[in-house]
């Protein structure tokens, strides 16, 4: 995926992108940072855990460590949801409006074990937009995987409709533990029970899966 991202930003100066965080994109981010640039790109962070500022499990902290701090990113070109805002609904509306104002050329996504995209857990509606969400116990526990002693119970995320508005979508899937949910993403009925099935409504989705993740296809 690193090479594809490098070519994408080279061929589309001023690209507006949604980027995820976590273990799945980390190797690609490190490879991209070795000789890539985001100097002309605008980046929107996909989601954020409801954790205190500076928590190592915060998505803004993770993308800084894995990508942004390794590159020359101009001030003002990176946007993230403020989980410390006084009015969370207003913050979500502001973020959604900012994304929609210029659109997204690319949304890069990981695939959750239950089919979640960002923090769009099972039950998320096709028409959902950026909003505050409660996390499943599985996702809450997962939020401690990145160094935080405190588990997040809520977060903020771009919605399904927000993500489907992107011109292109890339889905990153790695590991044998994702093989079953990748198969379900491609074969289950499209609907909120497995939010990732909504990707089949988009006509420009590319899946980057390693051999282990693709083993059940």
Measured N-to-C along each axis, helices 26-35 and 2-11 cross at an angle, to the nearest 10 degrees, of: 50
How far apart are alpha carbons 136 and 160 in whole angstroms? 17
Within a domain: 115:
yes
Within a domain: 127:
yes
How far apart are alpha carbons 183 and 189 in whole angstroms? 12
The CATH code of the domain that includes 32 is 3.40.50.1360
Within a domain: 24:
yes
Per-residue pLDDT reduced to its tens digit, 131-188: 999 999 999 998 998 888 899 999 999 999 999 999 999 999 999 999 999 999 999 9
Within a domain: 193:
yes
Count of domains observed in the chain: 1
Active-site residue set? 47, 114, 116, 121
Q: Which domain holds residue 30?
A: 2-209
Within a domain: 98:
yes
Within a domain: 57:
yes
Within a domain: 119:
yes
Within a domain: 215:
no
pLDDT per residue rounded down to tens, the chain (217 residues): 999 999 999 999 999 999 999 999 999 999 999 999 999 999 999 999 999 999 999 999 999 999 999 998 888 999 999 999 999 999 999 999 999 999 999 999 999 999 999 999 999 999 999 999 999 999 999 899 888 889 999 999 999 999 999 999 999 999 999 999 999 999 999 999 999 999 999 999 999 999 999 999 9
The gap from C-alpha 152 to its chain's centroid, in whole angstroms, comes to 17
């Amino acid at each position: 995926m690193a090479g594809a991202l490098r070519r994408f930003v080279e061929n589309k100066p001023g690209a507006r992108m949604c980027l995820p965080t976590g273990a799945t994109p980390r190797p690609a981010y490190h490879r991209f940072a070795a000789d890539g640039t985001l100097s002309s790109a605008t980046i929107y962070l996909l989601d954020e855990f409801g954790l205190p500022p500076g928590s190592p499990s915060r998505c803004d902290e993770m993308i800084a460590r894995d990508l942004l701090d390794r590159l020359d990113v101009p001030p003002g070109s990176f946007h993230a949801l403020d989980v410390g805002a006084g009015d969370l609904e207003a913050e979500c509306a502001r973020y959604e409006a900012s994304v929609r104002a210029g659109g997204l050329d690319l949304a890069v996504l990981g695939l959750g074990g239950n089919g979640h995209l960002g923090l769009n857990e099972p039950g998320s509606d096709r028409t959902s937009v950026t909003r505050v969400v409660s996390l499943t116990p599985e996702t809450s526990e997962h939020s401690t995987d990145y160094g935080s002693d405190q588990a997040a119970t809520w977060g903020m995320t771009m919605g399904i409709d927000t993500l489907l508005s992107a011109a292109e979508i890339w889905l990153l899937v790695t590991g044998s533990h994702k093989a079953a949910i990748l198969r379900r993403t491609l074969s289950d009925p499209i609907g909120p029970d497995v939010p990732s099935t909504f990707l089949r409504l988009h006509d420009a989705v590319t899946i980057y899966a390693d051999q282990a993740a693709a083993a059940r296809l």
